[in-house]
Amino acid sequence: MKLVILGEGIAGWAAAAMLAGALPEPRYTVSLVPTGGPDDSLGPFGPAEAALPSIRELHVRLGLDEDGLIRQSNAGYALGAAFSGWSSAEPAFFLPFGDIGAPLGTVPFHQLAGRLRAAGDHVRFGNFSVATIAAQMGRFARPSDDPSSVLSTYSYGLHLPLGPYARALRDLALARGVRIVETPFVAAELGEQGALAGLRLASAESVTGEFFIDASGPSALLSEGALASGFESWRAWLPCDRAAASGSATPVPPAPYSHVEAGAAGWRRVVPYQGGVGELIVSCSAAADERGTAFEAGRRKRPWIRNCVAIGAAAATVEPLQSTSLDLLHRALARLLRLFPAAPDATSEAAEYNRSTNEELDRLRDRLILPYKLNGRRGEPFWDQLRYMAVPDPLAHKIALYQSRGRVPLLDGDMFEESEWAALFDSFGLRPRRYDARADALPIDRIRHHLASIRSIMLEAAAKLPSHRDYLARSRARESAA
């Protein structure tokens, strides 16, 4: 089977490397056709991405060495994301990669916090996470494998400058025998049955294929342009529609976290990496005259249509407020491999691919809506209006049950866990009306002691970690020694 990928960005190269690594030769060949423009395969959200910890599984699957990436792409490590200007309860808060607190018996940490707060204690979630504490100190090391160590309770992601990262993926794909077509794409060619038959190039030649991957970015040249998949807009809940990306060099050592700051008409994210920072401004054109590339939040109705699967921003345009661009790409590729068709006409596989993709994207949409819905920026028209919007039912149910008793109902497709939802709710000052009755079975001083002891163990452990700068230097040295 001849596979043709459209788009020479991160999404296209990642797909090429992954497919060429997994598909048995010589039955399958993989070619990549460029679109000729800048890389918007993950949306107009450059110039660097703060990838979630799941990126490491992607790299293992791809066979991409992390130390090598740190050296060649100037990537940095990440312990989470700092948010400021969003919440009236917490002017600044941190969403860490890893555990917050620890349960006592069967009672989750946030329920223990509920009991203490009801007794008048002040509990700040951020004080009970190794990732948060280490990020504040500018320290980093990879977590411990020993489950009895407090240093095993956190995780890490990567800050990846997108240009060098795309080059690393391209090198990998080419080494695996992916054929790169030099001339850019002009138009899709349909076969008699209405499926894709080939891609016509600027040279008037064609690249024919049996199965296609559309990695052409938000314009979805194949899925939408040729096959009219349809688009489901999320604009009613996610009104930001402009993105402006820029990068700058700096000698300042990178912080091991990204920073997302809310502004009058949207938000601004800074992703530090070695030798520079990437800045992204995402805004709503109706609320401010910001420059930038236009986009519309939403997803394709059928990401797999006919003999074509859309990935990256061709499948869904998701602002990187939760740093999910690469995670979604990884999930799409893993799902495509699980359902990889034996023949180009694969309606059962397409149905399952679309069901599970759409379910996942809709739950992620809910997660993105939450910070807008709960924002504390009173007196600013853009934000005031968002606070009163009606949200989709599954999100309304999550908010209601959390407010009632601190529980978060997780549905099929939810990619964030209960503790991650609780951390976000808590940061926005949502306080459950009730806490878990089992917390009352514990003597309150035992809960207080539990929290104090977590805090001191974490502080002590974090203080012994190397600085992020030193750890980066060590990673680079490891790679060159190898």
Partner 1 sequence: MAGEAIERILVVGGGSAGWMTAAALANRLAGLPIAIEVVESAEIGTVGVGEATLPHIRFFNSALGFDEAEFMRRTRATFKLGIEFRNWGRIGDSYIHPFGAFGTELGGIPFHQHWLRMRASGATVPLEHFSLPIQAARRNRFAHPADDPASLHSTYSYAYQFDAGLYGRFLRDHAEARGVKRTEGRIVDVALRPEDGFVSSLTLANGRRLEADLFIDCSGFRGVLIEQALKAGYEEWTHWLPCDRAIAMPCAGTGALTPYTRATARESGWMWRIPLQHRVGNGHVYSSAFIADDEAESALVAQLEGAPLAEPNRLRFTTGKRRRQWAKNCVAIGLSAGFLEPLESTSIHLIQLAIGHLIDLLPDRGWDPLDAEEFNRVMALEYERVRDFLILHYCATEREDTAFWNHCRTMELPDSLSYKMELFRERGYVVNYREGMFLEPSWIAVYLGQNVVPRGFDPLSEAVPAPRLQAEMSRMGEACRAAAERMPPHRDFLRSIGAAEEAAA
Binding stretches for partner 1 (CB under 8 A): 22-24, 27, 61, 106, 118, 337-342, 346, 348-349, 351-352, 397, 400-401, 404-405, 407, 409-414, 433-438, 440-442
Nearer to partner 1, 1 or 137 (CB): 1
Report in angstroms how near the CB of residue 22 gets to partner 1 at its nearest: 6
Report in angstroms how near the CB of residue 345 gets to partner 1 at its nearest: 11
Tell me the β-bridge partners of 7.
none
**Whole-angstrom distance, CA of residue 277 vs CA of residue 309:** 33
**Whole-angstrom distance, CA of residue 313 vs CA of residue 198:** 21
**Whole-angstrom distance, CA of residue 234 vs CA of residue 372:** 13
DSSP annotation of 222: I
Report in angstroms how near the CB of residue 98 gets to partner 1 at its nearest: 22
CB count within 10 Å of CB 342 equals 7
Nearer to partner 1, 214 or 414 (CB): 414
Report in angstroms how near the CB of residue 352 gets to partner 1 at its nearest: 6
Classify strands 242-249 and 231-233 as parallel, antiparallel or unpaired.
unpaired
Nearer to partner 1, 114 or 303 (CB): 114
Using alpha carbons only, what angle is made at residue 329 by residues 182 and 427, rounded to the nearest 5 degrees?
140
Nearer to partner 1, 106 or 148 (CB): 106
Residue 433 contacts residue 403 (beta carbons within 8 Å):
yes
Report in angstroms how near the CB of residue 346 gets to partner 1 at its nearest: 8
Report in angstroms how near the CB of residue 401 gets to partner 1 at its nearest: 5
**Structure token digits, residue 110:** 């946030």
H/E run at residue 157: strand 157-161
Nearer to partner 1, 144 or 403 (CB): 403
Report in angstroms how near the CB of residue 18 gets to partner 1 at its nearest: 11
Nearer to partner 1, 119 or 228 (CB): 119
Report in angstroms how near the CB of residue 356 gets to partner 1 at its nearest: 8
**Whole-angstrom distance, CA of residue 365 vs CA of residue 372:** 11
Nearer to partner 1, 20 or 55 (CB): 20
Q: Report the half-sphere exposure of 2 (CA within 13 A, side-chain side).
A: 13
Residue 18 contacts residue 11 (beta carbons within 8 Å):
no
**Structure token digits, residue 108:** 């989750």
Estimate to the nearest angstrom the gap between the alpha carbon of 393 and the chain centroid: 23
Tell me the β-bridge partners of 82.
94, 259
Nearer to partner 1, 411 or 452 (CB): 411
DSSP annotation of 7: -
Rg of the chain (C-alpha set): 23
Tell me the β-bridge partners of 194.
none
Cα–Cα separations (whole angstroms), residue 38 to 42, 45, 73, 188, 293: 11, 12, 18, 20, 12
**Whole-angstrom distance, CA of residue 240 vs CA of residue 261:** 14
Nearer to partner 1, 407 or 468 (CB): 407
Q: Please name the amino acid found at residue 413.
A: G
Nearer to partner 1, 235 or 434 (CB): 434
**Structure token digits, residue 34:** 């460029």
Report in angstroms how near the CB of residue 212 gets to partner 1 at its nearest: 17
Give the helix ranges, DSSP H, for 162-258: 162-175
Nearer to partner 1, 232 or 359 (CB): 359
Report in angstroms how near the CB of residue 24 gets to partner 1 at its nearest: 4
Give the helix ranges, DSSP H, for 162-253: 162-175
**Residue of 129, 136, 80 whose CA lies nearest to 101:** 129
Nearer to partner 1, 242 or 335 (CB): 335
Using alpha carbons only, what angle is made at residue 409 by residues 233 and 439, rounded to the nearest 5 degrees?
145
Report in angstroms how near the CB of residue 441 gets to partner 1 at its nearest: 3
Report in angstroms how near the CB of residue 348 gets to partner 1 at its nearest: 4
**Whole-angstrom distance, CA of residue 125 vs CA of residue 29:** 51
